[in-house]
Structure 1
């Protein structure tokens, strides 16, 4: 009785402490007091955070209860200019996005979420954090304004954000790789030893060669995930932009080992014109658990929020998606969307001085502060399936517009759009296959890892007059799974164990056929995260950390993570057949590389 009274008294006294103070009590094993305090504080001090995820096709916002992780409201906004194919040329591998798509989507999704959530939630929003695709940089003027927002550049694709999958800088990436070999210090060692055309400096080098007018007007070159926090905090000068370690390390060649960027003579030898941007690149970079500042008065009024709301440092979508998906050391978190980003974290003392070759980088603090973040991935994953879907839908272009615009035509077209991939998955899952069945190579958008080469092309072999759509589709899915296996084997070859797989994203949620094949081909269990919005959820977890609700993002993961939905276990009856087909996949890939 005395013990209970003391506990109750302690709880009444301690409820006035900040919520983050709960965690300090646990260090001294004061769990009963901490537990009581936690629940009292949750009731008396509601806290909500907003996570915003800028994907390839749309932006989505999520309001999350910072104590329980409950998803209070969500909204999605497809980019209208991107949807209409503006400023892009797929034949030239040119993919650009207008900053207006981002700004409009940011405002509309957050407003929609706040409307759903109600006034109590609105009054208790503590922080906003964002993730974006990457490397997706843009040229800005001295005020930090993207050039495409200026009248002279409004319709110039070179003045817009250069999307991650833009491969117009293949030659420039090759020039960077060739130059790096001439230096005694390997400045590419922390990005896998090969610089990609998808990344920051290759894209800038291409821009300054392709468009003198844009280069002249450009003050500096900024990643999407760094620009959005600058926008929300009302930045007035480009020099105020806080760069995140995530893109700086994985895409920008920034490393503590080099004291920041490689030396000036590296960039000067590449092209002296790069020095204009090198000189504007800051000496310090930040992890995503740090604040970029407060929401500006202008954006607070625009969104209907308080300017006391904090804005977190931005990061790439897959990195925050790994956090939202509750990553743990040595578990490969596969963030599966149009492409894949495969994330893995390792304690620094266990990795030591080891450098992993052929991946997209290893950066201290890029996923979780205090851990080495390793990134790999595939340049096309969902994009492979989307390409095949569009290929099958092509005959609809031959139908008279009057028929398609009719009520029946719209219904038929909509039904085909919605059902086609589901039906392909269902029929492909029921197919029998053998060693000679159709076999594909998944490099339809080049190869990201292992060993980046964006000039490689895809392939489908073994076609005959009996080949049908489900059979070809099955081979494409299999090829993406074989590509995933190559990544796992590279980590293992580099003495980085992979203890298990975590699947996050829409494909992981919606396609049991693909997930089962992944487990079969990778020969290890794959657990699928429960949240359908892991990237936005990860951003919300970082926002909760920025707000001081948690002392570290790991604590936010524990409290806010919903756990896992299901686990796929390998079907060993296919092991021998997949092994034979995998060897053929490797042989075909080698032939393509030699061609």
Structure 2
């Protein structure tokens, strides 16, 4: 058999990357990364109000740049052997579209309107709307939040949509429908962006849009109208059916085939969120806990429906049949900030340097700061009287979403220096991770192994060792530098018919693991005490502040 190639495209928070992979062997033959131009300039965002928007042009430019750039690294004849492309994105990242599926920001009259752009996952401007959804759902005949942990989040589809319709009359007048980033960018490649006919992701719909077969799809029009009359009738302009990522969305359109130098025979797979495809790329198996660790974390578990499907897991980001692999229940959790906690601390320290000594000095310091603090923090003893911090600097995603929460640091004295505070922040992110693991275990979901992927997992031994000590579990780090893009490529190989199942694609294309962090017994015992203090501090902050 001639070799066949697939392309996985991974849209992250700051950049997009494409990976060209041999579908028979998993060998990567080309890759390219593109940073979003407008996002990098901070356009359309206001961190002080938790507004984070991304222009669709950043996505389109990135799609072209990464695929053509990755193909340029590969031998020329490989273009004729590419059979599939699949895409993952962050989420929930919805956008208002017109009748053709065009994001409103791509129209001249909305080109600079942030409300016509994609609303990034970490945008928390809809906290009040999320609370309204929860209050109504918990008093409705059907609790539409039952399959998303019982708490709807401001990071998700309906809250963001409702907030935008309320605050922007011009969007309200022109928004025919709404679409997730993973659905739209995949549909763009097929040439069919009609919001009424394009295939919607089961992963996105189930975890973020309250879709479930038990409900006949999305929440009822009666529920949505009671929530706000602005939503009346919108259900009919969205979707009823959803599709798993082993399925084909269509074929590459002539326009994009010419632009990318590929054949119109290339299959475009149904899209999904980055964490779920990343879990596939990390060779997830039943009851493996996969942590995608970057600016935030997404945690993915997969379990047989017949064993876990009858349970309703409290306070997570949803349990969805087929959101990872068909026939398996996908369970999602995560932290709203992980690497972002460390980045905040770096900005706190380097900000005055920038103002006093200039940008060049600040940039030089910033490059060295986190590695330096990691080395210094690793030398510190772990004692029961150490500084304690909370990781809620961007609110809490799970367990029990609450994005109005703030972080705190306790136990400071005149001897506390930067390395001790940094150590406490790293431990805080590990304690937040522990609370997620404990919730799964408390709800009767076993965790048989822990797998980590993402930038922090690959680059920060101190962080990973601390995490292993706090979880008291070994952590395997996947070898793949771009596990999400590799997982997308695996999905493309199944959608294109190269492999019959996700498991078969993982077996053929997986790259294994290159590091294992084993708990240190002397630190495990101390961390039990510090974790108890973390929980006590968190309870105080949540109730009293």
TM-score by length of 1: 0.90
Decide which moves more: 568-577 or 125-134.
568-577
Note if contact 1:127-1:546 (Cα within 8 Å) is conserved in structure 2: yes
Say whether residues 1:418 and 2:375 are aligned partners.
no
Structure 1: any 5+ residue segments left out of the alignment?
A: 1-40, 405-409
Q: What is the DSSP-based 3-state SS (H/G/I as helix, E as strand, rest coil) of the residue aligned with 2:427?
A: helix
Alignment partner of 2:206 out of 249, 254, 263: 249
- Contact 1:220–1:276, Cα closer than 8 Å, also in 2: no
- Which residue of structure 2 lines up, in the alignment, with residue 55 of structure 1? 12
Match of 2:303 in 1: 346
Kindly report which structure 2 residues correspond to 1:41-440, keeping only aligned pairs within 5 A, or say none.
Answer: 41=1, 45-235=2-192, 237-399=194-356, 404=359, 410=360, 412-440=361-389
Q: How does 1:554-565 map to 2 (within 5 A)?
A: 554-565=503-514
Shift of 1:304: 1.0
Considering only aligned residues, what root-mean-square deviation do their CA atoms show, in Å?
A: 1.1
Q: Deviations over 1:53-96 (max 9, x none)?
A: 00000001100110110111111111111111100000100000
- Provide closer, same or farther for how the CA distance between residues 352 and 234 of structure 1 changes in structure 2, counting only shifts above 3 A: closer
Q: Structure 1 stretches (4+) deviating beyond 4 angstroms?
A: none
Deviations, residues 473-522 of structure 1 (Å, cap 9, x unaligned):
10000000000000010001101111120011111111111111111110
Q: Pick from 426, 430, 454: which aligns with 2:403?
A: 454
Mapped partners of 1:110, 1:55: distance in 2: 15
* C-alpha separation in 2, matches of 1:564 and 1:302: 36
Select the structure of larger CA radius of gyration: 1
Partner Cα separation in structure 2 for residue 400 and residue 333 of structure 1: 42
Structure 2 unaligned segments of length 5 or more: list them.
Answer: none
SS in 2 for 1:454: coil
3-state DSSP class of the match of 2:196?
A: helix
- Post-superposition Cα deviations, 1:207-264, rounded to whole Å, max 9, x if no partner, equal 1111011111001010000001111111253222211100100000000111111221
In the other structure, the counterpart of 1:545 is: 494
Pick the aligned partner of 2:525 from 554, 557, 576: 576
- Counterpart Cα distance in 1 of 2:336 and 2:50: 12
Instruction: Tell whether the 8 Å contact from 1:191 to 1:362 is kept in structure 2 after alignment.
Output: yes
State the 1:558 CA deviation.
0.6
The alpha-carbon deviation at position 309 of structure 1 amounts to 0.8
The alignment status of 1:522 with 2:471, answered yes or no, reads: yes
How far apart in 2 are the matches of 1:181 and 1:473? 40
C-alpha displacement of 1:393: 1.2
Distance 1:571 1:375 in 2: 28
Shift of the alpha carbon at 1:118? Answer: 2.4
What is the Cα deviation at residue 413 of structure 1? 4.6
Q: Which range moves more in the overlay, 83-92 or 412-421?
A: 412-421
In structure 1, distance between residues paired with 2:303 and 2:474:
20
* 2:456 is the alignment partner of 1:499: no
For residues 195 and 206 of structure 2, the distance between their equivalents in structure 1, rounded to whole angstroms, comes to: 20
**Post-superposition offset of 1:194:** 0.3
CA deviation after TM superposition for structure 1 residue 463, in Å: 1.2
Between the aligned partners of 1:118 and 1:69, the Cα distance in structure 2 is: 16
C-alpha deviation, 1:414, in angstroms: 4.4
1:21 corresponds in structure 2 to none
| CA distance, structure 2, for counterparts of residue 371 and residue 64 of structure 1 | 25
Range that drifts further, 92-101 or 417-426: 417-426
CA shift at 1:181, angstroms?
A: 1.7
SS of match in other structure, 2:232: helix
Cross-structure match for 1:33: none
Show CA shifts across 1:146-174 (max 9, x none): 00011111111100000000000000000
Following superposition, the deviation at residue 400 of structure 1 comes to: 5.7
Indicate if the aligned counterparts of 1:219 and 1:276 stay in contact, CA closer than 8 A.
no
